[in-house]
Structure 1
């Protein structure tokens, strides 16, 4: 995975904010997923920016953390979403 890639949400995934957390529903598998406040920030940044470089820049403005640490966390987050079938990672 690299910062030049774009994230595309699956058409079958619906997200709803509930009590400071994000609940995701995958209509294909009928599975629910829960995101804590950090995961929700990551999800919202991806929704807004799509391109991982832009997502990272957005998150850097929100969090006081080393860029490499945040980048690693972002890649891990996206990989988990991808393995669950919630997103696709595309080369731009």
Structure 2
């Protein structure tokens, strides 16, 4: 994963925070996705910041975690979102 990339959200995805966790609905596939607390934090950081590097930095400040573990978890999470058609990752 290139941390200089930017995440673009699919226009068909509706996101709503419910009881502290994010629920996503892909209107195209009609699939629901539930994000846990950490997934919700990543989703919100991706909405707030321009690049994955900025998301990574914000999460590193928010959580007591090793940099390599966070980078791997962030990469895995973004990859799953891309595979599900919820986001696209593009060069900044």
Structure 2: 5+ residue stretches without partners: none
Query: What SS class does the counterpart of residue 3 from structure 2 fall into?
Result: coil
- The list of structure 1 runs, each at least 4 consecutive aligned residues, that deviate by more than 4 angstroms after superposition, is none
Q: TM-score, normalised by structure 2?
A: 0.97
Partner of 1:54: 54
Distance in 2 (alpha carbons) for counterparts of 1:39 and 1:20: 11
The Cα offsets for residues 16-51 of structure 1, whole Å up to 9 and x where unpaired, read as: 011121100000001000000110000000000030
Distance in 1 (alpha carbons) for counterparts of 2:54 and 2:7: 11
**Aligned length in residues:** 92
Structure 1: 5+ residue stretches without partners: none
